[in-house]
Structure 1
Amino acid sequence: MITILQEILLDFQDLELFSGIPRRLDVTPVQGKATVCIGVRRSGKSTFMSQLIQKLLDSGVSRQNILYLNFFDDRLHGLQQSGLGVILDAYYALYPAKKNSEKVYCFFDEIQAIEGWEPFVDRLMRTENCEVYITGSSARMLSKEIATQMRGRALSWEVFPFSFREYLDYLRVDAGDGLLSTKQRLFVQNAFEQYWAAGGFPEVAGLERRLRIKIHQEYFHAVLFRDLVERHNISHPKAVTDLAHWLIDNTASLYSLNKLTGYLKSLGHKAPQSAVADYLEWFEDAYFLFTVRLFDASLSRANANPKKIYCIDHAMVTSVASGILVNAGHLLENLVFITLRRLTPAIFYYKTKGGREVDFIAQWQDHPRLLVQVCESLASPTTRKREIAALEEAMVELNLPRGIIVTRHEEERIVLDAGIIDVIPAWRFLLYNPPFCTKQ
């Protein structure tokens, strides 16, 4: 195993780094803590690691002082038996003079593929002169359990596919820091239409529709089989696949465990409700599908009510869904959800006392709660009245002076007795951090 590890470590020394588009992630290494970047597979975590490595090289760090391993490399399968400690044996056998004398920068890609990685990294942080950077595609790397095993020696950041601003960076479109000129606005709006079609996965940016669909579908199957079936040793993978397709087809719609269990039963699957609950939890753990509960002070009441489902990427929905149930309104709602999810996991839907529904209520540190309604167009008087009434009623009940309606193209300010509703086109909502139109 040591010989194989040394070959991999030496291969990295000759590897030309692909740095890609600089990500707008405020990741700051902290002395004595491992830097953990987590997110859905193919969101750009490995490329972001390459960017961090390049910064180290540019600052004068020797390439030999960088230890990089990708744990999805099939050659590392034997580490599960030999133990992760052999990594240091292999490295210091190559560079013995660096032991206890020079700082080593350790980059471990998709380390969750190896069981028992937490004690190894913890020991590394305690006993070696090193900085540790980790990527993973499991939200469990944020959990209290991991924090306990790491004894507080880790700080985690989430990595999503390209935000709209990052997509603008890819297109080299200058969105400025504040007000846009007419020319800038036209460029941004044109870029949004491209983003609307392509989504945020870095690898599909700029590809024609046929290739984009093929790659999205490969991602879909990779998540299902590597992040669910293999990781959790699921004995009936067809049930998971059928469930994932149903959820994708019903993006931005309500579901209940009873409904999902009954659906799988109708297809001949013998998946109990507890198994379906596990599948949903594992989808979320893989940063693939997200569940949104009803906003309620009582957790039991919130869990008893139907929940809504969203996907990591709106364009992936169009590439995977059957196309029967998903419409542009659902895709827009999904896009708004992911924009909010970049800011906070505390996102709910709200139901007023009069039974009206508001798509999102989000809360995050140092900001008031934000009410967001999503509607493709307010051109229909009936639609306009319904959406405004729901938002106004929620504003009164929650004592919030402001609400937002995100549309595809429309923009206006509506002044009511309850407060102000800003109607914002999707490109502007994505370009600026809601609700205060500050730079992302």
Structure 2
Amino acid sequence: MIKRELYMSRIRPFIGSELIKVLTGLRRSGKSVMLDLIREELIASGISDKQFISLNFENMRNARLCTAEALRDEIQKQVSAITGKAYLFFDEIQEVDGWEKCVNSFRVEFDCDIYITGSNAKLLSGELATYLAGRYVEFIIYPFSFGELIELYQTIFPKTSRNDIFSKYLTIGGMPYLSNLRYADQPSQQYLQDLYNSVVLKDIVKRNNIRDVDLLERIIAYITANVGTAFSATSISKYLKSESRTVAPETILNYVKACEEAFLFYRVKRQDLQGKRILTINEKYFIADHGIREAVFGGNMKDINLILENIVFMELLRRGYKVTVGKTAAKEIDFVCEKQGQKLYVQVSYLLASEETIEREFGVYNSIRDNFPKYVISLDELDMSRNGIKHRNIRDFLLSPDWG
């Protein structure tokens, strides 16, 4: 188990505070492991393991506790036997009906420190905003970065070069459990297919009462095939019509939103950099883990440019950037990234194999007059930086601690 310090450094200041710590993200992205890491730190600081109460609500043994009343009675009984502060860990809390009231009650009634996880963005909407407004802090947990994969992969295969690990990363992605399979191709593919089915059935179909599963799967297939490509609900509607399925764009938007709420896809808006406004058409979508794309739909190496873009986008999210696609005149910048008043521009390409390609990728910055860092990222080993624009090999970029 690696320490995932990127997340621990963000969570650590809130450990022991009265704020409820909410960990969200794609199913099996490592939220439960983060709870274990938090417990380890608490025990190392002198907290007795007798002060912990941990429940996973996807475990059938806890099915009887999946109502607010039953859970409250059980926790009240267990807390009464604890001396000092109680540390409450609730995994996949969305399985508990009325959990918001229940958790808020614990916060008020008991001397406790609360941590919850969930695999749906709806966890932080609706009633939660009413009951817990201003009383929680959210951390989104993503699949492994390239750097995290190297750290874990080399504990299993110590002599593997980072270049070889990156080649593996392009096809299997970064789901944490793959280390238990020693990253073997066939078992990893089977696991990722099963994970995909679990996300679709449990976190999308079941939670949204979707009846037309075939339509949902067609929409997911379309988005997955077109990651990093601008399109609209109308585009999907026309595509489905060509497959003899007539579907209103509004229905498509609802299905896509359900996929976003399950953290399967991330939507990226387009920004007019000259008019300084957000555009409302032809947004882009990226998949949470490109390994799922390869296992279920294939084509990662055929669509290598899109996959590299997907990998860079997810790394930007991990590091806390707000990301849009930049439009300037007839050109587009892959990523305009903002964090704490600072900006970063990133253009992603497979290989800068010709002067025409070099001019195209670097030329997108011609109309950008500010002094924020501008990058062109590719698989090329040779540094082709020019005119103040930095060129980086994608492996170096992903592993760099600072992009300033």
Residue number in structure 1 paired with 2:2: 21
1:317 equivalenced with 2:293 (yes/no): yes
How far does residue 414 in structure 1 lie from its aligned partner after superposition?
3.0
1:126-151 Cα deviation digits (max 9, x unpaired) = 11011111111122334586344203
TM-score (norm 1): 0.82
1:405 equivalenced with 2:373 (yes/no): no
1:104-133 Cα deviation digits (max 9, x unpaired) = 111000101223211211111111011111
1:357 equivalenced with 2:328 (yes/no): no
1:346 equivalenced with 2:322 (yes/no): yes
Residue number in structure 1 paired with 2:68: 84
- What's the secondary structure of 1:292's corresponding residue? strand
Q: Which AA in structure 2 matches 1:188? A: R
- CA pair 294-434 structure 1, distance change in 2 beyond 3 A: farther
1:273-320 Cα deviation digits (max 9, x unpaired) = 2121111112111111111121138898611x2111211112222222
- What's the secondary structure of 1:251's corresponding residue? coil
Q: Which AA in structure 2 matches 1:56? A: L
- CA pair 220-135 structure 1, distance change in 2 beyond 3 A: same
Give the Cα separation in 2 of the matches to 1:433 and 1:279. Answer: 37
Q: Which AA in structure 1 matches 2:116? A: I
Structure 2 runs not aligned, ≥5 long = none
Q: What's the C-alpha RMSD, in Å, of the aligned pairs?
A: 2.5
Q: Which AA in structure 2 matches 1:362? A: C
How far does residue 261 in structure 1 lie from its aligned partner after superposition?
1.8
Work out whether residues 249 and 326 of structure 1, in 8 Å CA contact, stay in contact via their aligned partners in 2. no
Work out whether residues 413 and 421 of structure 1, in 8 Å CA contact, stay in contact via their aligned partners in 2. no
- What's the secondary structure of 2:272's corresponding residue? coil
Give the Cα separation in 2 of the matches to 1:51 and 1:67. Answer: 15
Work out whether residues 44 and 161 of structure 1, in 8 Å CA contact, stay in contact via their aligned partners in 2. yes
1:421 equivalenced with 2:389 (yes/no): yes
- What's the secondary structure of 1:350's corresponding residue? strand
- CA pair 412-350 structure 1, distance change in 2 beyond 3 A: same
Q: Which AA in structure 1 matches 2:145? A: S
Give the Cα separation in 2 of the matches to 1:274 and 1:337. Answer: 27
Structure 1 runs not aligned, ≥5 long = 1-19, 174-183
Q: Which AA in structure 2 matches 1:375? A: S
1:151 equivalenced with 2:133 (yes/no): yes
Work out whether residues 52 and 86 of structure 2, in 8 Å CA contact, stay in contact via their aligned partners in 1. yes
How far does residue 215 in structure 1 lie from its aligned partner after superposition?
1.2
Give the Cα separation in 2 of the matches to 1:145 and 1:283. Answer: 21
Work out whether residues 268 and 325 of structure 2, in 8 Å CA contact, stay in contact via their aligned partners in 1. yes
Aligned counterpart in structure 1 of residue 166 of structure 2, from 178, 192, 202: 192
Q: Which AA in structure 2 matches 1:289? A: F
TM-score (norm 2): 0.89
Work out whether residues 271 and 279 of structure 2, in 8 Å CA contact, stay in contact via their aligned partners in 1. yes
Which residues in structure 2 correspond to 1:86-165 (within 5 Å)? 86-93=70-77, 96-98=80-82, 101-143=83-125, 146-165=128-147
- What's the secondary structure of 1:323's corresponding residue? coil
- What's the secondary structure of 2:28's corresponding residue? coil
Aligned counterpart in structure 2 of residue 277 of structure 1, from 249, 253, 277: 253
- What's the secondary structure of 2:386's corresponding residue? strand
Q: Which AA in structure 2 matches 1:44? A: G
Number of matched pairs: 393
1:223 equivalenced with 2:180 (yes/no): no
Residue number in structure 2 paired with 1:208: 184
- CA pair 93-402 structure 1, distance change in 2 beyond 3 A: closer
Work out whether residues 35 and 132 of structure 1, in 8 Å CA contact, stay in contact via their aligned partners in 2. yes
Give the Cα separation in 2 of the matches to 1:198 and 1:247. Answer: 19
1:171 equivalenced with 2:153 (yes/no): yes
Give the Cα separation in 2 of the matches to 1:216 and 1:321. Answer: 11
Aligned counterpart in structure 1 of residue 232 of structure 2, from 231, 241, 256: 256
- What's the secondary structure of 1:171's corresponding residue? helix
- CA pair 363-300 structure 1, distance change in 2 beyond 3 A: closer
1:244-276 Cα deviation digits (max 9, x unpaired) = 111111121121110112223443445322121
1:379 equivalenced with 2:353 (yes/no): yes
Aligned counterpart in structure 2 of residue 294 of structure 1, from 270, 281, 286: 270
- CA pair 434-322 structure 1, distance change in 2 beyond 3 A: same
User: What fraction of aligned residue pairs are identical, expressed as a percent?
Assistant: 27
- What's the secondary structure of 1:207's corresponding residue? coil
Q: Which AA in structure 1 matches 2:279? A: A
- CA pair 434-405 structure 1, distance change in 2 beyond 3 A: farther
Residue number in structure 1 paired with 2:18: 32
How far does residue 429 in structure 1 lie from its aligned partner after superposition?
0.9
Work out whether residues 100 and 127 of structure 2, in 8 Å CA contact, stay in contact via their aligned partners in 1. no
How far does residue 374 in structure 1 lie from its aligned partner after superposition?
0.4
How far does residue 32 in structure 1 lie from its aligned partner after superposition?
1.0
Q: Which AA in structure 1 matches 2:376? A: I
Residue number in structure 2 paired with 1:180: none
